[in-house]
Chain A
Amino acid sequence: MRADEREAEWAAAMRQAIGGDAGAYRGLLTALGGWLRIRMRARLAHSGCQDLDAEEAVQEALLAIHLKRHTWRTGEPFTPWVAAIARNKLIDQLRRRRRRAEVPLDDFLEEEFGSAPAEEPGTGLDVERVLGSLSERQRGIVRLVAIEGHSARDAAGQLGMSEGALRVALHRCLRGLATKLREGDS
């Protein structure tokens, strides 16, 4: 896909996502995951950090894109905004390993990566370890929503909570995850 087509498609999907279309959002995040995976791998290799889990970097970036999506103005180009978020998260990750943390923004906007299929995902974030321990309720949410793929409404029904309460708990869980990852930095 050409960069401008992709940009238009992603921006439209993000607008739908902010409007509450979970399906469009999931598709967008999956596409962003692939786009980020190629770039994170290349950049980590370039910084001599092949040992780092690129999938962790991808997931941290996706989490930040999610939690900070209100800072994207619906009229502005989406891809540069994503690249800026991803670059910030990658710098954090490199700093955590005391590596030189200079990452040109162009690295993310570079189109020369080709469309090589992304490799098999690595382990990614260990949510349980990062969050210390999950409460019974959080564990239920992670299992039903993340692993079994239930909607917020279905998961709420199975856990005997209201959909609103589940959404609040889910949002807190994700924010907590971001906070813990950041605190792990310093």
Chain B
Amino acid sequence: MKTDELVRMLAADATVEAAPARQMVRAAIPAVILALALFLALVGVRADIVQALGSPRFWLKLIVCGALAATATGALLRAARPQPGLGRWGAWLWLPAAMLVVAVASELVVLPAQQWGAAAIGHNATICLLLIPTLAAAPLVASLLVLRRAAPARPALAGAVAGLMSAGVGALLYATHCTDDSPLFVALWYGCATAIVVAIGALAGRRVLRW
């Protein structure tokens, strides 16, 4: 086919998709509803939620997870573009990590050394490792579907960032169920769960996000 002929075909095709950000908003609604329904059906909010609301450790957990979901959403929209790199969003991604490091450091100061181990191991490690990826599944699939229609410069990176965002959403929900509030537990087990989702996202991204 001559290039002129292809150009005529392209010019006759007036179908323009919605911008990736708009598609992301549309996809987020069913994904979050699904994750929330799954969360309520499987475990629900912790029984002592009212007392928990008075605990700074509980709030810290929510803030770190929320910051992860928010900064990763920004990075995700950047990763959806054909120009490589994450721009300033790459730096913003360090915010939740830095918050967690400060929280862990404070905990180590506040808590006697004999209690460090117990606080880190907690009571919910297994369920944490299972539930965060489970709750992250719907947001991950939704964001990969949107990325597929965009033009991510680095498919594996875009998939990893989608995993990071989804893990943030999953962790935010799970954090309202889990009674282990120590930053030591959060850093260890939420961290592992997030790594699992990021790895799944990167592998899936490499396979399905090429364009």
Contacts and interface: CB of A to CB of B under 8 A. Distances in A.
Nearest to A18: B16
Interface string A141-165: 0100111010110010000000000
A62 B11 contact: no
Contacts of B11: 17, 22-23, 25-26, 29
B15 A71 contact: no
Contacts, number: 115
A71 B82 contact: yes
A33 B82 contact: no
A174 B1 contact: no
A170 B8 CA distance: 11
Contacts of B17: 70
Given A22-B14, A84-B83, A64 B4 contact: no
A170 B12 contact: yes
Overall SS of chain B's interface: loop
A54 B5 CA distance: 16
Interface in A120-156: 121, 124-127, 142, 145-147, 149, 151-152, 155
Interface in A62-106: 62-64, 66-71, 73, 80-81, 84-85, 88, 105
Contact of B151 (A22, A30, A71): A71
Interface residues of B, number: 30
Which of B3, B4, B8, B153 has the largest count of A CB atoms less than 10 A from its CB? Answer: B3
B14 A146 contact: no
A167 interface: yes
Nearest to B210: A182
Contacts of A126: 1
Nearest to A19: B16
Contacts of B205: none
Nearest to B82: A84
17 contacts: A33-B7, A55-B3, A67-B211, A68-B150, A70-B18, A70-B19, A71-B150, A80-B83, A84-B81, A88-B153, A125-B6, A145-B12, A152-B14, A167-B14, A170-B12, A170-B13, A174-B10
Interface of A: 17-18, 20, 22-23, 25-26, 29-30, 33, 37, 55, 58-59, 62-64, 66-71, 73, 80-81, 84-85, 88, 105, 121, 124-127, 142, 145-147, 149, 151-152, 155, 167-168, 170-171, 173-174, 178, 182, 185
Given A22-B12, A174-B13, 19 more contacts: A22-B11, A29-B11, A59-B3, A62-B3, A68-B150, A70-B18, A71-B151, A84-B153, A85-B82, A105-B83, A121-B2, A127-B1, A145-B12, A146-B8, A147-B5, A149-B8, A152-B13, A170-B9, A182-B211
